[in-house]
Amino acid sequence: MYHHVKKLMYTVKVGDPDPRFGNMLLEQFGGANGELAAAMQYSVQGLNTDDPGLKDMLMDIGTEELSHLEVIGTLARMHLKPMKKDRDAAEADPLIAICGGGGVNLYNSMGNAWTADYLKITGQPEVDLRSNIAAEARAKIVYERLIDFCDDPGSKDALQFLMTREITHMKVFMTALDSLGKKPLEIGKLKPTEGLVDQYFNDSTGEGDGAKDMTGPWNEGGDWERVDNPAFEPGKMKVDGD
């Protein structure tokens, strides 16, 4: 059961409204990496899991993200408000201006309606936690870019608050993933095919335009076996294992 308290998690102060910046802020309200996506991804994962520890943690963070949604929505609305009257402001986002009367809606900065296609939910803990870590990393960098494009000190403070919490959540998800006690490459139950799993397929080659074949720890050293041009030498691929 949910309860709402009529107080923002971070009290938002805005100097001069900047409608085009308000439009950008919608990325974190109704966008792919935004607060609704986070709230729904974690809350639905929490609803699905039977593990009481994970469930509690996912509901804690899912609920916090709803509070963030409220903060970013309030901030965006303050910047978008001139759209209601001002034709020039309205041109920054006619959908918000004309259909929404200058109020926010669950769209991103280009007017795309939020879709659950943004969510990554599999019901497998070691998978979902990785999807959550990645989601937090994306949200962090989006907040950083919004701060970089922002001139208003009050808005920056609110964004700094929200950005910080993404790192907190990332830390939570990483710790929870560690606590599962699985090996780094252990996903589900079925084992990968030996031999094949250690082959790196060098499918992109050539020296044109100064480009050359690169190596790094991701394709040499350790257990790696590199297979060059498998499309032309298919026999080298251990398709059925050792």
Beta carbons within 10 angstroms of residue 149's beta carbon: 11
Answer whether 46's CB lies under 8 Å from 59's CB: yes
Answer whether 71's CB lies under 8 Å from 10's CB: yes
- The answer to the question of residue 225 lying near its own copies (CB under 8 A) is no
Q: Where in 134-193 is the site for its own copies (CB under 8 A)? A: 134, 137-138, 140-142, 144-149, 157, 160-161, 163-165, 167-168, 170-176, 178-179, 184-185, 187-190, 192-193
Q: Where in 106-125 is the site for its own copies (CB under 8 A)? A: 106-124
At residue 80, what are phi and psi to the nearest 5 degrees?
A: -85, -15
CB of 107 to its own copies, least distance (A): 6
- The two three-digit tokens of residue 225, written as one number: 């076996």
Q: Tell me, residue by residue from 51 to 90, as one string, x for binding to its own copies by CB under 8 A and - for no binding.
A: -xx-xxx-xxxxxx-xx--x--xx--x------xx-x--x
Residues 49 and 57: their CA atoms lie apart, in Å, by 11
Find all residues with CB under 8 Å of 130, minimum gap 6, and list them. 177
- The answer to the question of residue 213 lying near its own copies (CB under 8 A) is yes
- The residue among 15 and 141 lying less far from its own copies, judged by its C-beta, is 141
- The answer to the question of residue 236 lying near its own copies (CB under 8 A) is no
